[in-house]
C-alpha cells in the first residue's frame, strides 16, 4: 500500500490536482498516521490516550467524500494503516516528522478540547 500513499502525494503535487486534492491527500495521510499511532499505542500498552481519539476524529472530518479526488476506499485505508510499520521502518525520521506534523496541525486547529 506504499503505492497508495505515493499516489496520494503525486496527485497532490500535480498542478491540475488543485488545492482540494492536496487537502484530501493530507487528510488521508494524516488519518493513516493517527490510526497507526493508535494501533501502536494499543499494542504497546493496551491503552490509547484520549487526545489520540480527538485528533483522529478531527482528521476523519476532513476526509474527502468517497469518489472525490484523493479519497481512499476503506480497504485502501486499512491496507495503508497495516503498511505503516513498513513505511516507518524504511524512513523512521520522515515517518516521525510526518506524524508530528499531523498531530501539531490538528492540535493547533483545536482538535483537542
Q: How many CB atoms lie within 10 A of CB 10?
A: 11
Cell of 37: 499511532
Instruction: Note the Cα 72 to chain centre separation in Å.
Output: 11
**Does the structure show a pLDDT above 90 at 19?**
no
Asked if 82 and 5 touch (Cβ cutoff 8 Å), the reply is no
Domain ranges of the chain: 2-108
Max CA separation in the chain (angstroms)? 44
Task: Let me know if 27 is exposed, middle or buried by CB neighbors in 10 A (0-12, 13-18, 19+).
Answer: buried
**Per-residue pLDDT, 72:** 87
Place of cell 504497546: 44
- pTM assigned to the model: 0.79
pLDDT-derived band at 3, boundaries 50, 70, 90: very low
Write out pLDDT tens, residues 22-66.
888 899 999 999 999 999 999 999 999 999 999 999 999 999 888
Average per-residue pLDDT for the chain? 86
Amino acid at each position: 500500500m506504499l503505492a497508495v500513499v505515493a499516489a496520494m502525494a503525486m496527485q497532490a503535487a500535480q498542478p491540475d490536482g488543485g488545492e482540494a486534492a492536496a487537502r484530501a491527500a493530507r487528510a488521508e495521510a494524516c488519518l493513516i498516521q493517527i490510526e497507526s499511532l493508535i494501533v501502536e499505542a494499543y499494542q504497546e500498552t493496551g491503552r490509547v490516550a484520549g487526545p489520540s481519539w480527538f485528533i483522529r476524529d478531527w482528521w476523519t472530518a476532513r476526509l474527502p467524500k468517497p469518489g472525490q479526488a484523493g479519497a481512499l476506499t476503506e480497504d485502501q485505508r486499512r491496507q495503508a494503516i497495516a503498511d505503516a510499520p513498513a513505511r516507518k521502518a524504511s524512513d523512521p525520521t520522515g515517518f516521525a516528522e510526518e506524524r508530528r506534523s499531523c498531530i501539531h496541525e490538528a492540535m493547533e486547529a483545536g482538535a483537542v478540547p
